[in-house]
């Protein structure tokens, strides 16, 4: 049974049905999705922003179309090899995880972004308000992070905007302990891989906000217990995840939200985490 403090004004039995229905609907939407997969978000990318062959050959009106928002540029960059070569500063400087440096030549760059040919992406923020930075047209620096939750390595692809055009300028490989997300990533790596640890890291009551499967203009809001999370969970991000840094910093963060965006239908889920004393917990979920 759902706890007596459900706050949405409907019967407890009806809420149970709706939550299970919502969970099933969510699972159906994610069928065929590789749980360890990632991709670049498409939420701000419009179909007409994709370049034609003629435009790519000469970059005709390219900066006016795509370079304004980093998300728009990045989507095109990772999906077109020719553009990747044009917008990468070769020989590319790469910092390895042991601190040494190497240079990457153009002919070594073909498989660099193969890890993003997947079904969903993730983005990490300190709070909801921070999401607005994705629409900031004045940005001149941004990074795409490949986060390996198994090997505990973050690969940061660092971009700069020069003469109105985004360019990949360098790559850095960092151990978790070198990242300002170290505390959260160390927790989340175990949270994603260890189901026993995950169940212990759920808050006693988890706030939920989900679309009503009977009326997608309405939401179901309330609380569930940690034991009831299984009826809602459609699959947390795991394996290799991504993060795009538009300027956000996480040092001493005590609240984190992780957004999971489906490449297939553009739908998103958000997982909310909070640090209670020394312990991180998942405290909320929205879809």
Give the SS3 label for residue 132. helix
pLDDT tens digits, one per residue of 185-228:
999 999 999 999 999 999 999 999 988 878 888 888 999 999 99
What are the residue boundaries of the structural domains of the chain, listed by start? 47-117+137-176
pLDDT tens digits, one per residue of 73-82:
998 999 888 8
pLDDT tens digits, one per residue of 165-193:
999 999 999 999 999 999 999 999 999 99
Indicate the length of the chain as a whole number: 287
The pLDDT, as a whole number, for residue 53 is 52
- The answer on pLDDT for 231 being more than 60 is yes
> Distance between CA 83 and CA 72 in Å, rounded?
13
Contact 88, 171 (CB under 8 A): no
Give the SS3 label for residue 155. strand
For the chain, where are the E strands, in sequence order?
88-95, 101-104, 120-125, 141-148, 153-162, 165-175, 202-212, 215-225, 240-245, 255-262, 268-276, 279-286
pLDDT band (50, 70, 90) for residue 11:
very low
State how far the alpha carbon of 5 is from the alpha carbons of 20, 181, 229, 283, in Å.
19, 34, 16, 16
> What pTM was estimated for this model as a whole?
0.78
């Amino acid at each position: 049974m759902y706890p007596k403090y459900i706050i949405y004004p409907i019967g407890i039995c009806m809420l149970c049905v709706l939550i299970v229905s919502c969970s099933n609907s969510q699972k159906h939407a994610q069928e065929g999705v590789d749980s360890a997969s990632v991709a670049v978000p498409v939420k701000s990318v419009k179909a007409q922003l994709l370049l034609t062959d003629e435009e790519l050959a000469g970059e005709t009106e390219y900066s006016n179309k795509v370079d304004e928002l980093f998300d728009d540029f990045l989507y095109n960059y990772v999906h077109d090899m020719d553009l990747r070569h044009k917008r990468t500063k070769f020989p590319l400087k790469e910092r390895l995880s042991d601190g040494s440096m190497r240079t990457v030549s153009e002919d070594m760059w073909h498989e660099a972004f193969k890890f993003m040919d997947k079904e969903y992406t993730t983005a990490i923020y300190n709070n909801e308000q921070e999401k607005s930075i994705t629409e900031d047209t004045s940005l001149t620096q941004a990074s795409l992070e490949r986060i390996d939750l198994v090997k505990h390595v973050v690969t940061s692809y660092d971009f700069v905007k020069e003469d109105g055009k985004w360019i990949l300028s360098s790559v850095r490989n960092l151990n978790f302990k070198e990242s300002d997300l170290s505390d959260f990533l160390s927790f989340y790596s175990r949270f994603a891989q260890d189901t026993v640890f995950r169940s212990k890291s759920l808050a006693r009551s988890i706030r939920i906000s989900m679309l009503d499967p009977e009326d997608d203009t309405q939401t179901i809001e309330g609380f569930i217990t940690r034991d009831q999370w299984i009826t809602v969970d459609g699959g947390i991000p795991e394996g290799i995840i991504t993060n795009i840094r538009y300027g956000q910093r996480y040092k001493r963060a005590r609240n984190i939200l992780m957004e999971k965006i489906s490449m297939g239908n553009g739908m998103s889920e958000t997982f909310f985490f909070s640090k209670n004393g020394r312990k991180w917990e998942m405290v909320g979920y929205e879809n």
